[in-house]
Structure 1
Amino acid sequence: MNEDLGEPRDYLKLHFLVFVWGFTGALGELIQLPAVEIVLFRSAIASVVLGWIVRKTWRVPAKRALAMLATGCLIGAHWVLFFLAVKVANVSVCMVGIATVSLWTALLEPLMIRHRKLRRMDLIFGVCVIAAVAVIFQSELQYAGGFLIAITAAFAAAVFSILNGRFAATTPHRVISLYEMVGACGFCAACLPLSAFYLSEGRGLDLVPSASDFGWLLVLAVVCTVYAYSEYVSLLKRLSVFTINFANNLEPVYGMILGAILFGDYQTLGVGFYVGATAIAILVLAHTGWSRRKRLPIG
């Protein structure tokens, strides 16, 4: 998709979804399971719920099904890296690293989509976000490992978002989500040995969540995945991948607020973090206004 074709309500829905996704980092902090197990349960629960919702319309051509399952594996990798960054650093730092997704999208879309040209303004906005992230990074060097993991997760997010833009044109959004959640679940199941030996801090596999963990997992799977992720896929029919991913840069702002309220992150974050986060919020609002304005008739 080259241009945004959405109505004002699509932009409002997009920003509401970004607000919902802002809770995912906090949920990753609240859930005591390792990153791989969190995503395994998240995608498994979402697969069951989505399977019931689309039980009469889930069939698609085999080639497309395989492509969506493969994309689901990439989504699983993105989520594992995301929650790993939360565990290694904290909610706010992880979600700021994710903000680089807009630059990755601006660079990768012309390479992955035929006839998609590199838009100068997209690149400028993306570079400005990177500058804001750099301000934060320099002020929080103790979290460098978490930043780098989150930036890698952002790269994966840009790739699967572009791929989803192709599926959205031909397949119902909940069917896409079903196949991708099954793929993510399969990816995490294959990664369980890695989690047991390297990512669980010596606890081994942790496949029996506590009652509180299971409750938060249900929120993560049903609200942040079945609802929010499916609606995100549906918006790809009307809004460009870059616009959606750029709006996602507000996640750090919501994550920062939640991290401050729930976990006291503000006690360990310096002035540079807040300067960069404020700049990101301003850039997202400016890009939303620019995207809408260029579609309006002049005069």
Structure 2
Amino acid sequence: MPPLRALFAIHLAAFLLGLVGLFGALSEATPLLITFGRALFAFICLWLFSHFRGKPSTALSKRQHGFLLLCGLLLALHWALFFYAVSIGGVAIAGLGFAAFPAFALLLESLLLRRRPGPLQWLALLLVSVGMLLVAPDFSLTNSSNIGLFWAALSALLFAVLSLLMRFNLEQIEPYRTTLSMTLVTWLCLLPFAAPLLPTLKAMNWLWLAVLGLLCTAFAHSLIASSLKRISASSVSVILALEAVYAIAAAWIFLHEQPSLSMLAGGSLIISASVLISRAGGTQKRRNS
């Protein structure tokens, strides 16, 4: 994939990921059913890809199988909490809460490697903290936006844990195979709880869940994996920070969730923090190489 096509692909992936909350809201399903449907359709798409790809895969160890199972369970919980945040606080609030994920990943990685964050990373953490305070309309625990922001931030924390587990334990496995295995675990573990509710879904519900699983999951993650072959991981992370921008815009245009000035200001700080963390991570890698 040429560099220009890779840049277009990663921007398209960020756009599609920014629409996750919108399609989840349009499906009008419960967080459980949205998570189940998203995982099911993503798995079907990735399984067909691996089937027609026809290339033999290397055998996985028991340890890798165990980590794939754990990551699949974390993915299910992460998605369910995110869509729960959407149902309570709205698409924009959930998107901004999830945008704090790089800050959580930085903190966890620093604790894991016993490495102190640098000045830029401390600045990024400060920006995220101030940004979260600006996004929250007040300090009331009964405000739906605050509750939605809390669950979205918890979802981001789980995704940070998931990302670090994948980085340190599943890095040698092909990205599509990792996603295929995790989506399989996700929809299988949710099947007993989702099965009694499936008859309540209408045709349009299924359509939005299919779009969510095929476009915003399987296709988007395939674009990210292919782009990483031509673009640095730090650059990809910076572009993916635009996901929150697309989420706010989509909620504003299609769901009439008009953001306040404080929300826009807070979102700008959180996105800026993501850029700083990505740049600081890229600098750290160059120093260590």
1:251 to 220, 243, 268: 243
How big is the shift at 1:220?
Answer: 0.9
Call closer, same or farther: CA 1:68–1:207 in 2, change over 3 Å. farther
Q: Which residue of 2 aligns with 1:170?
A: 172
Please give the alpha-carbon distance, in whole angstroms, between the structure 2 residues aligned to 1:123 and 1:70. Answer: 30
1:157 and 2:159 equivalent? yes
Indicate the percent of aligned positions where both proteins have the same amino acid. Answer: 21
CA contact (8 A) 2:20 2:216 kept: yes
Q: Which residue of 2 aligns with 1:21?
A: 17
Q: Which residue of 2 aligns with 1:50?
A: 46
Call closer, same or farther: CA 1:285–1:10 in 2, change over 3 Å. farther
Call closer, same or farther: CA 1:90–1:148 in 2, change over 3 Å. same
Q: Which residue of 1 aligns with 2:266?
A: 276
1:130 and 2:129 equivalent? yes
CA contact (8 A) 2:103 2:274 kept: no
Amino acid at match of 1:220: L
CA contact (8 A) 1:18 1:251 kept: yes
Q: Which residue of 2 aligns with 1:186?
A: 188
Call closer, same or farther: CA 1:117–1:127 in 2, change over 3 Å. same
The DSSP-based 3-state class of the residue aligned with 2:172 is coil
CA contact (8 A) 1:140 1:273 kept: no
The DSSP-based 3-state class of the residue aligned with 1:265 is coil
What is the aligned length? Answer: 276
Call closer, same or farther: CA 1:140–1:94 in 2, change over 3 Å. farther
Please give the alpha-carbon distance, in whole angstroms, between the structure 2 residues aligned to 1:105 and 1:288. Answer: 11
Please give the alpha-carbon distance, in whole angstroms, between the structure 2 residues aligned to 1:296 and 1:61. Answer: 32
Stretch of structure 1 that moved more, 278-287 or 64-73: 278-287
CA contact (8 A) 2:121 2:280 kept: no
1:95-143 C-alpha deviation (Å, 9 max, x unpaired): 111122121101111334x5x7343123421331221121111458531
CA contact (8 A) 1:102 1:249 kept: no
Please give the alpha-carbon distance, in whole angstroms, between the structure 2 residues aligned to 1:49 and 1:167. Answer: 25
Amino acid at match of 1:48: I
How big is the shift at 1:274?
Answer: 1.7
Call closer, same or farther: CA 1:66–1:285 in 2, change over 3 Å. closer
1:36 to 32, 35, 44: 32
Amino acid at match of 1:119: P
1:263 to 243, 255, 270: 255
CA contact (8 A) 1:164 1:236 kept: no
1:183-240 C-alpha deviation (Å, 9 max, x unpaired): 11123235549xxxxxxxxxx7244532222221121111111121244456678755
CA contact (8 A) 2:134 2:266 kept: yes
Q: Which residue of 2 aligns with 1:67?
A: 67
Amino acid at match of 1:87: S
CA contact (8 A) 1:102 1:126 kept: no
CA contact (8 A) 2:21 2:247 kept: yes
CA contact (8 A) 1:177 1:230 kept: no
Q: Which residue of 2 aligns with 1:77?
A: 77
Call closer, same or farther: CA 1:283–1:70 in 2, change over 3 Å. closer
Please give the alpha-carbon distance, in whole angstroms, between the structure 1 residues aligned to 2:5 and 2:122. Answer: 26
1:147 to 136, 146, 149: 149
Call closer, same or farther: CA 1:296–1:156 in 2, change over 3 Å. closer
Alpha-carbon RMSD across the aligned residues, in angstroms, is: 3.2
Call closer, same or farther: CA 1:15–1:158 in 2, change over 3 Å. farther
How big is the shift at 1:181?
Answer: 0.6
